[in-house]
């Protein structure tokens, strides 16, 4: 710890201070010239030998000004008062480097985001700007020259999630010739897209466009596919992650299995398929989720298998022509080394049971969107026949309710982005296949991407009816004879300005998209951040949408928020491009924000030992001192703050830097002026 | 009290690089207004907050200290904000024993998306500290007053050491 501010000592540094106007962004509120004059006069004794102001410090002329001053005036420290360090810290560090000064001997302090943009009183804002500059000057004096850490990049990449985003990302990287581990929790890759029938707005068959991609991913020589597997542990850092993957026992020897499907035929145990068929159809206890599954090997669902629960059966084993069934198989833990990780973990559907007045789960003919996808799918439980739950009656009228669980402050405020187009697609399919009357109950129609609005016009022309208003209730309580035995949709038609009761035979709820139930645990496992909802947070929502705050971990697809297929695929490809860029660099530079232990000072109290979530701190038993592994340290500084002996120091945010900045911000550094009274009267 | 001689407190704010500093950036980008009494210091994590920093700020003339971090469960370093929370609880007890009003040291969770919330918390805190008046621990109070240096006040109470 430093003591009280030492007014007697003058800083030996030669500091240059540059105050930016940012056009009128700063200069409109802060009197930039006054800040410059004040700095030059009042902080002279602290080593400020030059203070300048300039219209745009980040422009090439502004940067050259710094470079020239470093060379001509021999500056040893640089302070720029401009925008947030998150915007231009690197810019000015680079300028210092070009001028011949170690980049970490500069400091960017924010007088835009933290002063001119948030304050209106010009006098007070100018005073605060002076304090902020003063804080920066004191801090920069304590800065140390540092070198960024060079980290070699392992060429392999882990892709988590085998939906279309993960498949796209894996293929892009593998096609470039680098190894990929593609990990999927379910028995097959394909994700939600494999469940769909048609894709809007072109009405391509989902399986027809997805299956070739799945096959490519399954057979690619650079892709190691691990389905029925989950990531258990992640350690390490960008370039050098060590990942432990639990490959669950399939009870099928994939070396011997040919995927002939006889086991599935012979298995006597039928199970309702809650995942792939969305509860609409059955599968066996030994199964592949769908015929085009990749890989084609089945898995035995242990909790539902008769042999595992009762000890007899083994029908699959008896009939398997290649003796591939192996009831003794155990889970395997596989450890892989990768340089980068792409998370493409997808979404869960909003649980429509949470809105009891829409009757899902209580009224038989209320379907969710995913159920309807299976119902309309030619490979689905009804072979694509759109029929009611009785399995034979075709509906004469169908109501599609938009925004179920989305744009609703009781559930989710956000728009789920895909429901409008999906509902229009359903309307088209119902119309085409049954000729039924279709009602869409919507709040707003949002058809913003390419060819989307044209599709909307087409559905309008087909005669689908649109009622604007949020549905109040779906009920089977008839009030009139024509409502008997039907579902009645109670809605306020906000365009007609009246309440309506519309009887229909089938209701489809366009349930919104939600983060995966375990999204937060996954975020924790990989050390990335997610919003309160559970959506993952991008490094920058606009400019860096597939990177995260954690170096080396990228995100793609619906885990950052609802997306349609084109956007999801773009993100998969974008994440792959980011990873490929990294791999091609062969090594990357990371910020040298790291903690280290002065072992002469360390008392071996071990207070810090349990504080590190990255396991960077270890205790050396024979010498009774603590050690920090710089490669594992992420630079949070918690141990630095905790060390009672002051034996741990942290670069870039050292105690000296922070304490000096406090002095500067509180203008204690002006105390020295007592020695130079001629300068006090500014 | 007229507007001219209204007491203007000086508050030092410690912000986390990943959430609350970005919330402050966002407040700026969105032009959300708050009083100019807070001067922010960026740390990598609220877990970096050495309780000594708070003591030092108050001893050096600040009238209040604002500590901000990521919401529980959203820490960029997984769980270090909980350590900040623990230290904050201990600090509050120490300050109570030193006779410092609890409103002078405040912990606020603000995510990178919560610029408006951070601005609101700052505004509230400034008003609370303004109502309390100056702390008079340090001399300069962040303004250009040059009476004496608070050397004797800088001796930290022992509790601060234990806190970590």
pLDDT in tens, B118-133: 999 999 999 999 999 9
Q: Which residues of chain A have pLDDT under 50?
A: 1-5, 7-8, 674-682
* Average pLDDT in chain B: 84
pLDDT at B163: 45
Element (H, E) at B15: strand B11-16
3-state secondary structure A441-493: EECCCCCCCCCHHHHHHHHHHCCCEEEECCEEEEECCCCCHHHCCCEEEEEEE
- B41-76 confidence digits (pLDDT tens): 999 999 999 999 999 999 999 999 999 999 887 788
Partner-chain residue, chosen from B28, B62, B161, that has the shortest CB–CB distance to A117: B28
Q: Is A641 close to B49, i.e. CB distance below 8 A?
A: yes
The Cα of B49 is separated from the nearest Cα of chain A by a number of Å equal to 6
The yes-or-no verdict on residue B150 having pLDDT over 50 is: no
Determine the pLDDT at residue A278.
Answer: 93
pLDDT at B153: 44
Give the number of other CB atoms < 10 A from CB of residue A479: 11
Rounded to two decimals, the ipTM of the complex is 0.86
Hey, of B9, B12, B30, B36, which one would you mutate to test binding to chain A, going by the most A CBs within 10 A of its CB? B36
B123 contact A CB<8A? no
In this complex, the residue of A520, A636, A674 whose CB is nearest that of residue B45 is A636
Which of A551, A526, A522 minimizes the C-alpha distance to A238? A551
How close does chain B come to A120, measured CA to CA in Å?
8
Helices (H), A179-245: 206-219
Closest CA to A598 of A627, A632, A618: A627
Q: Identify the CA nearest to A626 among candidates B45, A635, A612, A634.
A: A612
Q: Is A546 helix (H, G, I), strand (E, B) or coil?
A: coil
Between B17 and B74, name the one with better pLDDT.
B17
Partner residue opposite A667 with nearest CB, options B83, B142, B150: B142
Supply φ then ψ for residue A17, to 5 degrees: -115, 130
**What is the per-residue pLDDT for A11?**
75
- In DSSP terms, which residues pair with A198 in a beta bridge? A205
Q: With an 8 Å Cβ cutoff, are B28 and A112 in contact?
A: yes
Residues B136 and B115: their CA atoms lie apart, in Å, by 31
The distance of A119 to chain B (nearest Cα, Å) reads: 6
Determine how many CB atoms are found less than 10 A away from the CB of residue B159. 16
Nearest to B14 by CA among B58, B73, B78: B58
CA B108 – CA B80 distance, rounded (Å): 15
Whether the CB-CB separation of A505 and A395 falls below 8 Å is answered with yes
SS (H, E, C) A649-671: EECCCCHHHHHHHHHHHCCHHHH
Could you report the per-residue pLDDT of A582-603, keeping only the tens digit for each? 999 999 888 899 999 999 999 9
Task: Give the separation between CA B94 and CA A419, rounded to whole angstroms.
Answer: 55
Instruction: Flag whether residue A492 sits within 8 Å of chain B, measured between CB atoms.
Output: no
- DSSP for A317-350, please give it: HHH-TT--B-TT---EEEEEEESEEEE---EEE-
| pLDDT band, residue B138 (cuts 50/70/90) | low
């Amino acid at each position: 710890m430093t003591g009280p501010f030492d007014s007697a000592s003058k800083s030996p540094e030669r500091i240059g201070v540059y105050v930016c106007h940012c056009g009128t962004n700063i200069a409109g509120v802060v009197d930039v010239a006054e800040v410059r004059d004040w700095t030059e006069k009042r902080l002279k004794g602290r080593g400020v030998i030059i203070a300048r102001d300039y219209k745009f410090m980040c422009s090439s002329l502004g940067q050259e000004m710094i470079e020239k001053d470093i060379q001509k005036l021999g500056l040893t420290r640089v302070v720029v008062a401009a925008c947030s360090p998150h915007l231009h810290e690197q810019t000015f560090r680079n300028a210092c480097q070009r001028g011949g000064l170690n980049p970490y001997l500069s400091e960017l302090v924010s007088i835009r985001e933290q002063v001119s943009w948030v304050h209106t009183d010009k006098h007070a804002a100018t005073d605060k700007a002076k304090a902020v500059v003063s804080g920066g000057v004191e801090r920069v004096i304590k800065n140390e020259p540092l070198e960024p850490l060079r980290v070699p990049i392992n060429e392999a990449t882990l892709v988590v999630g085998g939906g279309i985003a993960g498949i796209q990302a894996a293929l892009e990287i593998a096609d470039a010739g680098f190894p990929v581990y593609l990990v999927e929790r379910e028995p097959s890759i394909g994700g939600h897209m494999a469940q769909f029938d048609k894709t809007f707005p072109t009405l391509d068959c989902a399986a027809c466009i997805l299956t070739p991609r799945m096959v490519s991913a399954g057979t690619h020589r650079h892709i190691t596919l691990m389905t029925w597997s989950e990531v258990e542990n992640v350690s390490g850092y960008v370039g050098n992650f060590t990942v432990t993957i639990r490959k669950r026992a399939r009870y099928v020897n994939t070396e011997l299995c040919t995927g002939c499907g006889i086991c599935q035929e012979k298995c006597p145990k039928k199970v309702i398929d809650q995942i792939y068929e969305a509860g609409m159809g059955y599968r066996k206890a030994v199964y592949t989720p769908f015929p085009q599954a990749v890989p084609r090997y089945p898995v035995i669902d242990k909790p539902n298998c008769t042999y595992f629960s009762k000890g007899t059966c083994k029908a699959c084993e008896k009939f398997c022509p290649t003796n591939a069934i192996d009831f003794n198989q155990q889970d395997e833990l596989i450890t892989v080394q990768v340089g980068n990780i792409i998370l493409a973990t997808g979404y869960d559907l909003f649980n429509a049971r949470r809105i009891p007045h829409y009757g899902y789960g209580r009224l038989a003919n209320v379907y969710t969107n995913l159920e309807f996808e299976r119902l309309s799918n030619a490979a689905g439980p009804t072979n694509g026949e759109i029929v009611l739950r009785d399995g034979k009656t075709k509906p004469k009228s169908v109501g599609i309710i938009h925004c179920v669980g989305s744009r609703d402050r009781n559930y989710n405020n956000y728009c789920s982005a895909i429901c409008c187009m999906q509902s229009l697609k359903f309307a088209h399919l119902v119309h085409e296949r049954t000729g039924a009357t279709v009602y869409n109950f919507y709040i707003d129609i949002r058809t913003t991407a390419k060819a989307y609005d044209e599709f909307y016009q087409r559905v309008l022309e087909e005669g689908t009816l649109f009622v604007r208003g949020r549905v109040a209730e779906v009920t089977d309580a008839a009030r009139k004879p024509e409502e008997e035995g039907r579902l009645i949709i109670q809605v306020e038609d906000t365009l007609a300005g009246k309440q309506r009761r519309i009887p229909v035979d089938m209701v489809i709820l366009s349930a919104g998209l939600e983060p995966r139930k375990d999204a937060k645990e996954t975020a924790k496992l990989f050390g990335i951040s997610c919003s309160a909802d559970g959506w993952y947070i991008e490094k920058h929502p606009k400019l860096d949408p597939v990177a995260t705050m954690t170096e080396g971990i990228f995100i793609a697809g619906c885990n950052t928020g609802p997306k349609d297929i084109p956007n999801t695929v773009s993100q998969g490809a974008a994440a792959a491009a980011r990873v490929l860029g990294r791999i091609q660099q062969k090594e990357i530079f990371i910020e040298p924000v790291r903690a280290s232990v002065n072992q002469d000072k360390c008392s071996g109290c071990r207070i810090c030992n349990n504080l590190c979530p990255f396991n960077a701190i270890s205790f050396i038993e024979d010498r009774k001192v603590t050690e920090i592994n710089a490669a594992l340290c992420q630079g949070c500084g918690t141990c630095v703050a905790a060390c009672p002996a002051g034996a741990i120091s942290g670069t870039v945010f050292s105690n000296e830097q922070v304490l000096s900045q406090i002095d500067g911000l509180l203008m204690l550094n002006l105390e020295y002026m007592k020695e130079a009274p001629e300068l006090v009267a500014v | 009290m007229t507007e001219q001689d209204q007491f203007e407190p000086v508050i030092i704010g410690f912000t986390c690089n990943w959430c609350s500093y970005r919330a402050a950036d966002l407040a700026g980008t969105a032009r959300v207004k708050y009083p100019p009494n807070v001067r922010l210091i960026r740390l990598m994590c609220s877990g970096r907050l050495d309780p000594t920093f708070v003591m030092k700020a108050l001893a050096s003339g600040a009238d209040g200290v604002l500590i901000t971090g990521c919401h529980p469960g959203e820490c960029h370093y997984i769980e270090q904000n909980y350590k900040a929370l623990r230290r904050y609880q201990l600090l509050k007890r120490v300050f109570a024993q030193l006779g410092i009003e609890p409103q002078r040291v405040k912990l606020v969770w603000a995510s990178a998306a919560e610029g408006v919330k951070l601005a609101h918390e700052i505004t509230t805190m400034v008003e609370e500290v303004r109502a309390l008046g100056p702390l008079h621990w340090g001399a300069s109070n962040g303004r250009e007053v040059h009476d004496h240096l608070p050397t004797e006040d800088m001796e930290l109470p022992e509790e601060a050491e234990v806190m970590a």
